[in-house]
Chains A and B, each alone.
Chain A
Amino acid sequence: MASVPVVNVSLPSLSAGWSADNNFKPVGTLSAATQRNLEPVGPHFLAHARRMRHARTFSEDERIQAQHNVKKTEDEENDEISEPEDSMMLAREAKDWKSQDHYAVLGLTKYRWRATPEQIKRAHRKKVLRHHPDKKAALGDRDENDSFFKCIQKATEVLSDPVRRRQFDSVDEAAEVEPPTKKEATGSKFFKLWRPVFVAEGRFSKTQPVPELGDDKSTLEEVETFYNFWYNIDSWRSFEYLDEDVPDDGESRDQKRHVEKKNANARRKRKTEDTARLFKMVDDCAAGDERIKKFRKAARADKDKKRLDREAEARRLVEEKEKARLEEEQRKKDAEEAAKADREKNKKAKEAAKNATKKNKRVLKGSVKDVSYFADGEPSAAQVDGVLTDVDLVISKIDAEELASLAERLSAAGKDGAAVKNVYSEEVKRLVGAGKLKEGEAKNF
Chain B
Amino acid sequence: MSDATNGASERFAIGISFGNTSSSIARINPEGKAEVIANEEGDRQIPSVLSYIDGEEYHGTQAKAQLIRNSKNTVAYFRDYLGKNFKSIDPTPCHNSAHPVQSDSTVAFSICDSTSETPNTVTVSEVATRHLRRLKDSASDYLGKQVNAAVITVPSDFNDAQREALTAAAEAAGLEVLQLIHEPVAAALAYDARPEATVADKLTVVADLGGTRSDAAVIACRGGMYTVLATAHDYELGGATLDKIIMDHFAKEFIKKHKTDPRENARGLAKLKQEGEGARKTLSLGTNASLSIESLADGIDFGSTVNRTRFELLSNKVFAQFTGLIEQVVQKAGLDVLDIDEVIFSGGASHTPKIAQLASNIFPETTKVLAPSTFVGAINPAELASRGAAIQASLIQEFDKEDIEQSIHPMVTATPHLQKAIGVEFASGGSVEFKPLLNADTALPARRLAQYSVPKDGGDVIIRVCEGARDIKVTKPEPKAKEEKPKTDEDDSDFDSDEDEEEETREIVWKTEKPIAELAVKGTKAGSKVELMVHVNADLGMQITAREVGGQSAVRGAVQSP
Contacts and interface: CB of A to CB of B under 8 A. Distances in A.
A38 B562 contact: no
B435 to A, nearest CB: 5
Interface in B454-476: 454-456, 459-464, 467
Given A12-B462, A32-B562, A39 B450 contact: no
A14 B530 CA distance: 14
Contact of B559 (A7, A12, A26): A26
Nearest to A6: B451
Contacts of B414: 35-38
B174 to A, nearest CB: 22
A186 B422 CA distance: 76
B517 A27 contact: yes
Interface string B322-338: 00000000000000000
Nearest to B524: A11
B189 interface: yes
A381 interface: no
Range of interface residues on chain B?
35 or more
Interface stretch (A15-23, A124-132, A160-168): A15-23
A6 B529 contact: yes
Contacts of A70: none
A433 to B, nearest CB: 106
Nearest to B411: A52
B1 interface: yes
A15 B459 CA distance: 11
B544 A31 contact: no
Contacts of B43: none
Interface stretch (A40-48, A142-150, A187-195, A358-366): A40-48
Nearest to A45: B225
B505 interface: no
A30 B515 contact: no
Contacts of B520: 14, 18, 20, 23-24
A88 interface: no
Nearest to B217: A39
B203 to A, nearest CB: 14
B418 A33 contact: yes
A99 interface: no
A48 B395 CA distance: 14
Contact of B519 (A23, A40, A41, A50): A23
A34 B419 contact: yes
A30 B395 contact: no
B453 A26 contact: no
A53 interface: yes
Interface string A45-89: 110111111000110000000000000000000000000000000
B225 A44 contact: yes
B452 interface: yes
Contacts of A183: none
B412 A52 contact: yes
Contacts of A27: 515-518
Contacts of A51: 445
B244 interface: no
A40 B518 contact: no
Nearest to A58: B447
Interface stretch (B86-94, B177-185, B269-277): B177-185
Interface of B: 1, 179, 181-182, 185-186, 189, 192-193, 198-199, 219, 223-229, 388, 391-392, 395-396, 406-408, 410-420, 422, 424, 426-428, 433, 435, 441, 443-445, 447, 449-456, 459-464, 467, 514-522, 529-531, 535-536, 540, 542, 544, 555-562
9 contacts: A7-B453, A9-B435, A9-B453, A24-B519, A32-B540, A34-B441, A44-B224, A44-B225, A51-B445
